[in-house]
């Protein structure tokens, strides 16, 4: 595929240049009007910038050519037989990159020049186009989507352009896994004694806390205690008392910072102290500030921000900004069973450089809790599980 950018005073002039150089089979990938020149914002001239491409041969011929162009490593015996001594005075010029590498470079430039969100304008091969639709349907941010598709296209060309749809999805999972590996992930680290769960109203914090307690007791054999500062809802205290009784875990209700410090002293012999907080209206910053008047955040604290995947991403971003008064270690995303759109997990991690601790996928305690390793996120986003 030959891809080239043209600049002309009008679309008709641009088309003349395209037909003359690329022929009548050329297709327009993208066009835009650009303003240039002028003085103090006046007398600016406009011109058309057009990106066009042409496939000089059939798809089958292209595949065969690409296979022939992919360099094959010679055997060790062949290298030994053909190796020749190099004269110290000989000037060595680096080899020119093969044509298929140039095409990858051109395609990457094209991806960055097309306006964000316009990936449908790029003529992706069938299996890659399917991955592009998947990323778009998962509402992955445009910049992240373009970068992931750039990785897929590079692998498409370097493998000979004959991969199946299943193979391309595997590449996509690997690419997402690699991106998510840049952030700390996984569950409770057990390096800090207090684990604090915060978030807006209605995201399932108390139920999630009960799942964490059951996981710590049953799976990790830890000695666990509860503290709740959710004194706004009597039902929340009663709910946590029920879980505490079932798991045989002590519970302290704290109304102020002094109560919290007394509870912390009482639980000094425990491995993990799980802290439940009242749901806050994230639009009211004072409610978030009030958390600091009840909980001692200067101690050894690990804090998870609980977000529902049924929420709008813009709301999630605002929630994070409000709760960032408190240091957030990782996210917990709830209600994965109530939606089919999971892109906000990747978007939020990338935007705020924050990893994911757990996913929850139902109300059952302790079963519906998943430790969110990078591969789990990749599987969930693509809908293809290892």
Closest C-alpha among 307, 374, 365, 303 to residue 336: 307
Structure confidence at residue 90 (pLDDT): 42
> For 8-13, which contacts have Cβ atoms below 8 Å and span 24 or more sequence positions?
8/47, 8/48, 8/50, 9/47, 9/48, 10/48, 11/48, 11/50, 13/48
Neighbours of 213 (CB within 10 A): 25
- Size of the chain, expressed as the number of residues it contains: 386
The string of DSSP codes covering 178-228 is HHHTTS--SS--SSSSEEEEE-BTTS-HHHHHHHHHHIIIIIS---EEEEE
Q: Tens digits of per-residue pLDDT, 121-175?
A: 566 788 899 999 999 999 999 999 999 998 998 888 887 667 889 999 999 999 9
- The model's confidence at residue 317, banded by pLDDT at 50, 70 and 90, is very high
The overall average pLDDT reported for the chain is 80
CA dist., res. 18 & res. 26, Å (int): 7
Helices and strands per DSSP (H, E), number in the chain: 14, 11
Cα separations (Å) of 157 from 57, 73, 114, 149? 16, 17, 20, 12
Q: Give the containing element (helix H, strand E) for 54.
A: strand 45-54
**137-148 residue pLDDT tens:** 999 999 999 999
Q: Output the pLDDT for position 282.
A: 64
> What is the sign, positive or negative, of the torsion defined by CA atoms of 166, 169, 173, 175?
positive
Share of the chain above pLDDT 70, in %: 74
- Report the predicted TM-score, pTM, of the whole model to 2 decimal places: 0.70
Cα(207)–Cα(235) distance, integer angstroms: 12
24 has a pLDDT exceeding 90: no
Question: pLDDT tens digits, residue range 35-79?
Answer: 665 544 445 566 777 777 776 654 444 444 444 444 444 444 444
CB count within 10 Å of CB 30 equals: 17
**367: pLDDT confidence band, cut at 50, 70 and 90?**
confident
Q: Number of C-alpha atoms within 13 angstroms, CB side, residue 242?
A: 10
pLDDT tier at 358, thresholds 50, 70, 90: very high
């Amino acid at each position: 595929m030959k891809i080239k950018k043209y600049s002309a005073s009008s679309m008709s002039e641009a088309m003349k240049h395209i037909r003359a150089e690329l022929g009548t089979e050329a297709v327009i990938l993208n066009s835009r009007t650009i303003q240039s020149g002028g003085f103090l914002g006046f007398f600016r001239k406009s011109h058309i910038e057009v990106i066009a491409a042409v496939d000089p041969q059939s798809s089958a011929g292209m595949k065969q050519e690409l296979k022939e162009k992919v360099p094959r490593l010679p055997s060790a015996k062949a290298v030994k037989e053909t190796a020749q001594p190099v004269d110290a005075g000989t000037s060595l010029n680096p080899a020119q990159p093969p044509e298929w590498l140039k095409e990858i470079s051109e395609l990457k430039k094209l991806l960055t020049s097309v306006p964000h969100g316009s990936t449908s304008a790029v003529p992706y091969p069938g299996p890659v186009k399917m991955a592009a639709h998947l990323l778009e349907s998962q509402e992955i941010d445009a910049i992240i989507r373009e970068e992931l598709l750039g990785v897929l296209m590079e692998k498409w060309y370097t493998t000979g352009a004959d991969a199946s749809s299943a193979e391309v999805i595997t590449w996509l999972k690997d690419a997402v896994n690699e991106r998510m590996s840049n952030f700390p992930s996984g569950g409770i680290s057990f390096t800090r004694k207090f684990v604090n769960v915060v978030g807006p109203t209605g995201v399932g914090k108390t139920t999630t806390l009960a799942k964490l307690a059951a996981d710590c007791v049953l799976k990790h054999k830890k000695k666990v205690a509860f503290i709740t500062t959710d004194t706004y809802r009597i039902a929340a205290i009663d709910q946590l008392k029920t879980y505490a009784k079932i798991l045989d875990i002590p519970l302290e209700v704290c109304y102020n910072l002094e109560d919290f410090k007394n509870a912390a002293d009482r639980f000094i012999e425990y491995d993990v102290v799980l802290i439940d907080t009242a749901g806050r209206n994230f639009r009211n910053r004072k409610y978030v500030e009030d958390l600091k008047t009840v909980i001692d955040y200067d101690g050894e604290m690990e804090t998870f921000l609980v977000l529902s995947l049924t929420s709008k991403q813009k709301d999630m971003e605002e929630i994070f900004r409000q709760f960032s008064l408190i240091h957030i270690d990782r996210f917990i995303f709830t209600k994965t069973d109530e939606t089919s759109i999971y892109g906000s997990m990747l978007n939020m991690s990338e935007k705020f450089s924050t990893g994911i601790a757990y996913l929850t996928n139902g109300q059952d305690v302790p079963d519906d809790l998943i430790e969110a390793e990078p591969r789990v996120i990749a599987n969930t986003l693509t809908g293809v599980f290892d």
